[in-house]
Structure formats: structure tokens, C-alpha cells
Amino acid sequence: MSGLWGVIGGTGLSQLEGLQLTGESRPQTPWGEPSAPLVHGELAGQPVCFLARHGHPHTIPPHRVNYRANLWALREAGVSRVVAVNAVGGIHADLPTGRFCVPDQLIDYTWGRPSTFYEDGLDEVVHVDFAEPYDASVRAELLRAAAAQGISCRDGGVYAATQGPRLETAAEIRRLERDGADVVGMTGMPEAGLARELGLAYACLALVVNPAAGKSTEVITMAAIEGVVRAGMQQVRDLLQAVLASAD
């Protein structure tokens, strides 16, 4: 698959170091403004479009992100393949803090978020196939790049998307685990579903930044999370460069 790559940066990735900047744009969309300007440039010799999901600086909470404007703006900029970077909590025992995961499934526990482009003025009701929520080819590129970089990355897993912005209770995490979830985050939906509606090849690169609630005796603090994020995001940049360097 060919086409312009887009990168959506989550917590800790509000700008993409190493990007040779060629311009910025802040397009108006039918759904309002995206979270931040689209940053256009080259990484590893390939054109790429970067968007900070939570704004730059990081000020937009997960339930207030304008996911529709973000995805629409990327599509209008010519993006066809999207890597979404997400900071997550680890639920499964083989996903400790600092490890990466490229999920292959998700469960949506969010509510009240605008989650479709197909609401008003329709000629007919539209349903998109979402049985496999992540694009297999983009997932494969991420996994190949992680292996080439020697980055520990789990192939597959279930992403549980919760409402936030508060962290989950231990009982909620036990419920998610019974449901089959491996990691938990707050921004996986409706982003993935909207990408599917627009025909974008979308995959998630998740960095485990803390044990989910009840999975450790330690109190979850933002200071501890930020330390993991700082170390992990350098690996994210290395991995993205490897993906783009081998892209067709």
C-alpha cells in the first residue's frame, strides 16, 4: 500500500523530533478545528503529516478531543495510512511498564463522544464493517520495525477504551480483564472507528506506561508515568523512522 503516512501523537508525543519541517496547516473541517496544526515534513526521507491528539501543549483531555476534525483533517491532507500512538495501562501480565503492544482488537467503553460522520442529512443509514478494527498491513509494518530496532513489542492484544479523564478503579480493571482486555487507554475510540469510516488504514502503537489499577501495590502517579513516557517516546521515534525508512 502506498500513500502519505500520518502520525497521531498521544501523551508524551506532542511533537515529532527529527521531523524536517516543510510547513504547518490548521484546516477548517465540517466538524471544527483539529486539536493542533497539522505539521508537514519528512522523516527518514518520507513525507509525513503529524498531529498532536491532545494539542500542543498537551491541554485537551481525552473526552474533549475533536476526533472527527482530527481524522477529517488528516484525510483532507492526503493521509491514507495512520499510526496512532497511545499511552496505556497494562492489564495482561506479559505487558509490563515500558513494553509496547500493537493491538489487533478493541472494546469501546466510552460514552457521549461524537463517534460517526454519518448522522445527519443521510440518503441512507451507513454501517461500516469493524470486525477487524486495525489495518493488518500497518500493524505488520509496526511489528517489523520493532523487531528490526530490537524493541520489545507484543503482537496483538485487546485495547479497552475507557471514558476518562480519571483513571480506572481496580474493580473496573478486573471487569475489563474478564472481558478479555490486555491494555487500557482513553483515546482508542472513537478514533479507530472514524478512521474506518474514512477508509484510512489505521493501527495503534501502544506504550504501557503504568500497571493498570490493582495490578501493582504502588500508587499510580503522573510523575512516574511521565518518566516512562520520556524514555518510551524516544523508542517510538526510532520505530517510526524505521517504518518510514522501509515504506513503499
Give the annotated binding-site residues for phosphate.
11, 53-54, 187
Q: Using CA atoms, how far apart are residues 243 and 147, in angstroms rounded to an integer?
A: 11
Distance, C-alpha 2 to centroid of its chain? 20
Question: What whole-number distance in Å separates Cα of residue 216 and Cα of residue 46?
Answer: 41
Q: Which helix (H) or strand (E) holds 80?
A: strand 79-90
The CA distance from 208 to 95, in Å, is 7
The number of helix segments (H) and strand segments (E) in the chain equals: 5, 11
Annotated binding site for substrate: 186, 210-212
What's the rounded Cα separation, in Å, for the pair 67 and 73?
A: 10
The position carrying cell 475507557 is 162
CA distance 79 to 5: 6
Binding positions are: 11, 53-54, 186-187, 210-212
Grid coordinates given for 213: 489499577
Looking at the DSSP bridge assignments, the partners of residue 88 are: 208
